[in-house]
Amino acid sequence: MGEPVTLKTGRELNMGRDSSWLIGADIVAVFLALVGQVVLTRALITEDYGIFIIALDVFATAFLVIDLGLPTILTRDGANSVNKIWPAIWRIYRIQVICMLPFVALAIIGVVITVDGWQDLTPLLAICGLVALAHIFSYAPRSGLRAAGFAWIEAWTKVIERLISMTGYLTLYFLGSTSVELYALAFLLGAIIGLLSALIFARLVLRSVDDNGWSDLGECWIDNKTLILESLPFAITLGILPYVIRIEKFIVAGSIGVEAAALFHVAQIAWLAGLVVPQAMRAALLPILGQRRNNKEKFAASIEKSLDLCFGLLPVGLFGGALLIQFLLPIAFPTQYTDGSLGASATDLFMILLVGWCLTLLATPSYTALQAGENPWKFTIFIAVIVIFATTIGFLLISSMANSTAKGLHAAAIASTLSSAFLLICSIHLAKLWDIVKQRAAEFISCIVLASITCFGFISNPALIFSGLILFLFTPRGWKALISTES
């Protein structure tokens, strides 16, 4: 399946190994985050909790542009010259700090103009803003570690961050604290320690050797202007992505009502948690494809191996997610979210969304191939097209069914799944991977058809669930790809 990707001062890149670490860390982080939400809802009054969550989301979205897409470029190109990763991290910081200053000023002005009683909320808003900045500045060292083959260290920094925040939450909870500012400080402490741990570990394992110019990383690293222009498409994409997964929910809220949107949100929570799997796989695959993009044979070999892993993981995620939600949702949430009294069951909606998860997983290689390509604008165009399609199909389906809450919610879930299908097809086409897909057409078709039948079985016909067991025939090959020492 090709020779290992060996680095000068880093570790050998390996998609199976690196994906395993990142997936495991993200699953632990998501679990700790969910527990944290339970603690916050029990410790804080509803108004304080709502302000805290909204402030975090607003600052995270508003400050995301400060990222500038530069860590993504580092992930893509870092494996070309590991010796340059550490100085590249600080070069990224210098550019990001210059970009940060006007956005922080605009955020302060925006808060003063738009938030009533902002004086009373100043401590909380300041803490939430610092949390967002700490997260953004942690991306560069974590990307550098991943590009150098140290994804396991990146994984631990994520777990450490969540553990610190969770420890702070639990300590405050058992002390009887109801101060939202203190809980926000606990979250900030976790974010700062996560950032510092990433920087410290990066400094320890990434040795800087000034024996070559910046061109060893890639031509775009020669000067800052070229670097920013190269990263601009990824920066624009970062501004778009937060809205992709929220489109259907926004349309549901506007067309059907807030209660329906809340129900759809509950169904989406588990679906979003499951998306950490393809996200982690993309993160591990990007530096490998970035280094091999000029070698067609090795590039294709990496795509093939990543497909083996996708096909192998699909039945595990399909049945694991379905069975977990069947038992977990009724326990974790009030009965009205699962008994149909709000118009539909969050469990049934999740089963429809689960088909979309399978399609998103299968799109991992082609999606990442676009990120690693020579023309980053193609990736931006791809994301923009997905947003346009999702918005259009969402409005058409949900609006046409808005007279019935049940039909409208099911239409929203179907629209989300159709968007995932479009993402798969569009990414394959733009990445020019149809030759590989045609060779493995039987696997693609069987996975999509059997996953759809299985999810339908969980909703209305239990006998159909067993058809999905056939998909476990792909698991041994996926396991082989996971433990392989080749990239």
Q: Greater confidence, 195 or 21?
A: 195
Q: Would you list the DSSP string of 6-45?
A: --SSSPPB-HHHHHHHHHHHHHHHHHHHHHHHHHHHHHS-
DSSP 1: -
Mean pLDDT, the chain, as a whole number? 85
- Cα torsion for 74, 77, 83, 84, to the nearest 10°? -50
User: According to the model, what pLDDT value does residue 299 have?
Assistant: 87
Query: What is the torsional sign of CA 232, 237, 240, 242?
Result: negative
Once rounded to an integer, what is the mean pLDDT over residues 246-253? 78
Write the pLDDT tens digit of every residue in 97-140: 998 898 888 888 887 777 777 777 788 889 999 999 999 999 99
User: According to the model, what pLDDT value does residue 3 have?
Assistant: 43
Once rounded to an integer, what is the mean pLDDT over residues 413-429? 94
User: According to the model, what pLDDT value does residue 452 have?
Assistant: 94
User: According to the model, what pLDDT value does residue 6 have?
Assistant: 43
Residue 4 pLDDT > 50:
no
Q: Where are the alpha helices (DSSP H) in 79-117?
A: 85-114
Which tokens in the block code for residue 343?
Answer: 């118009």
Lowest mean pLDDT among 29-43, 393-407, 409-423: 29-43
Instruction: Give 26's pLDDT tier (boundaries 50, 70, 90).
Output: confident
User: According to the model, what pLDDT value does residue 359 have?
Assistant: 95
Residue 7 pLDDT > 60:
no
Lowest mean pLDDT among 54-58, 140-144, 315-319: 54-58
CA–CA separation, 307 vs 180, rounded Å? 45
* Domain ranges across the chain: 11-238, 245-475
CA–CA separation, 362 vs 451, rounded Å? 12
Residue 72 pLDDT > 70:
yes
User: According to the model, what pLDDT value does residue 208 have?
Assistant: 65
Nearest to 76 by CA among 68, 64, 85: 85
340: left (phi over 0), alpha (psi -120 to 50) or beta: left
Residue 34 pLDDT > 80:
no
- Could you tell me what percent of the chain has a pLDDT over 70? 93
User: According to the model, what pLDDT value does residue 396 have?
Assistant: 92
Once rounded to an integer, what is the mean pLDDT over residues 191-208? 90
Once rounded to an integer, what is the mean pLDDT over residues 269-289? 83
Residue 156 pLDDT > 60:
yes
Once rounded to an integer, what is the mean pLDDT over residues 180-186? 92
> Distances in Å between the alpha carbon of 110 and those of 59, 120, 236, 400, 478?
11, 16, 21, 37, 49
Write the pLDDT tens digit of every residue in 208-239: 665 567 877 878 888 888 888 888 888 887 77
Residue 388 pLDDT > 70:
yes
Instruction: Give 324's pLDDT tier (boundaries 50, 70, 90).
Output: confident
Lowest mean pLDDT among 38-47, 278-287, 435-444, 463-472: 38-47
Which tokens in the block code for residue 298?
Answer: 């090795």
